[in-house]
C-alpha cells in the first residue's frame, strides 16, 4: 500500500490553494461589512505508515470561555477540505484552537473517531480576518500477531520472517510473532511469511486500528 503519488500530491496542493482562495473571497467582504466574524479554512490529513491521505472529519472550534456549545462546527469533505465562519470570543483570548475527529468515508463505516488521534491547531483570534490551518491526525496501530507452524510436522517454526507493510518480525522458538503498525482503516493488506528453503506465503487481511488481527500460518 503506497501513498504520495505525484497526482495525489498535486491534488492536495490544489486543495490548499482552493482553501486559501475561499478564505480570501469570503473573509474580505465580511471584514469590510462586519468586523465581528472570522473564517477558518484548511485541510485534514490522516497519517499512516505509507504516508498521508485526505481525511473526512468533524472540525470544531471550541469556545475557550465555556465547555458548552463550540464557536463553530463543520464537516471536512472526503478530500479533507473544510471552511467555517463564526463570531470570535472576547479579545482577551489571543489564541484559539481548531480540532478534528475522523468519521468514516461512507454510511457503512460511519465512525472513525476512535481510529485516529485528534488533530489540533492554534490560530490567532483576529475578528474580520480569515486563516488557513492544517490538521494532522495519526491512525492508531493495528497489531498483527499469531503462530507459525510446519504443515508437515505440526510443530512451531522459529526464524520465519513475517512482513506487513514496512514492518518485519521474526518468529521465536514458539513460532510466535507480533507486528505493530499504523495501517489505514478498513483496508486490505497482506502478511508475508518467508522461511529459508521454502516459498514465500501470503495471507490477506483487513486492517483494524486499535485492535489485534490474529493470523496463524501453516507453512509447507
Per the DSSP assignment, residues forming a β-bridge with 100 are 59, 119
**For the segment 124-133, what is each residue's pLDDT rounded down to a tens digit?**
888 888 888 9
At 6 the pLDDT is 47
Enter the pTM of the model: 0.80
* pLDDT exceeds cutoff 80 at 165: yes
* pLDDT exceeds cutoff 80 at 67: no
**For the segment 80-116, what is each residue's pLDDT rounded down to a tens digit?**
899 988 888 877 677 778 888 887 665 555 678 889 9
Q: Is 179:168 a contact under the CB 8 Å cutoff?
A: yes
| Measured distance CA(183)–CA(180) in Å, rounded | 9
**For the segment 191-201, what is each residue's pLDDT rounded down to a tens digit?**
999 998 788 89
Q: Which of 127, 119, 69, 76 is nearest to 97 (CA)?
A: 119
pLDDT band at 35 (very low <50, low <70, confident <90, very high): low
- What number of other Cβ atoms are within 10 A of residue 70's Cβ? 15
pLDDT band at 3 (very low <50, low <70, confident <90, very high): very low
What sign does the dihedral 116-110-56-4 (CA atoms) show? positive
Classify residue 46 as exposed, middle or buried by CB count within 10 Å of its CB (0-12, 13-18, 19+): buried
* pLDDT exceeds cutoff 50 at 31: no
48: its cell numbers: 499512516
> Collapsing DSSP states into helix, strand and coil, what is residue 170?
strand
Over residues 207-219, mean pLDDT: 95
At 173 the pLDDT is 96
**Kind plus residue range of the DSSP H or E element containing 133:** strand 130-138
Domains of the chain: 6-138 (2.60.40.10), 142-219 (2.60.40.1120)
Amino acid at each position: 500500500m503506497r501513498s504520495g503519488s505525484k497526482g495525489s500530491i498535486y491534488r492536495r496542493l490544489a486543495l490548499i490553494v482552493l482553501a486559501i482562495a475561499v478564505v480570501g473571497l469570503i473573509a474580505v467582504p465580511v471584514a469590510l461589512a462586519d468586523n465581528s466574524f472570522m473564517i477558518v479554512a484548511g485541510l485534514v490529513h490522516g497519517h499512516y505508515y505509507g504516508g498521508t491521505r485526505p481525511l473526512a472529519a468533524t472540525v470544531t472550534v471550541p469556545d475557550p470561555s465555556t465547555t458548552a456549545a463550540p464557536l463553530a462546527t463543520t464537516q471536512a469533505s472526503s478530500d479533507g477540505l473544510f471552511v467555517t465562519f463564526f463570531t470570535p470570543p472576547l479579545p482577551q483570548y489571543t489564541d484559539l484552537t481548531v480540532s478534528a475527529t475522523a468519521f468514516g468515508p461512507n454510511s457503512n463505516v460511519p465512525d472513525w473517531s476512535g481510529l485516529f488521534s485528534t488533530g489540533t491547531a492554534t490560530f490567532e483570534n483576529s475578528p474580520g480576518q480569515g486563516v488557513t490551518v492544517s490538521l494532522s491526525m495519526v491512525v492508531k496501530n493495528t497489531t498483527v500477531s499469531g503462530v507459525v507452524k510446519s504443515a508437515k510436522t505440526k510443530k512451531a517454526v522459529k526464524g520465519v520472517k513475517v512482513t506487513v507493510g514496512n514492518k518485519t518480525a521474526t518468529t521465536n522458538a514458539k513460532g510466535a510473532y507480533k507486528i505493530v503498525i499504523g495501517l489505514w482503516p478498513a483496508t486490505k493488506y497482506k502478511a508475508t511469511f518467508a522461511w529459508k528453503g521454502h516459498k514465500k506465503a501470503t495471507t490477506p487481511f483487513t486492517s483494524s486500528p486499535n485492535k489485534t488481527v490474529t493470523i496463524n500460518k501453516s507453512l509447507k
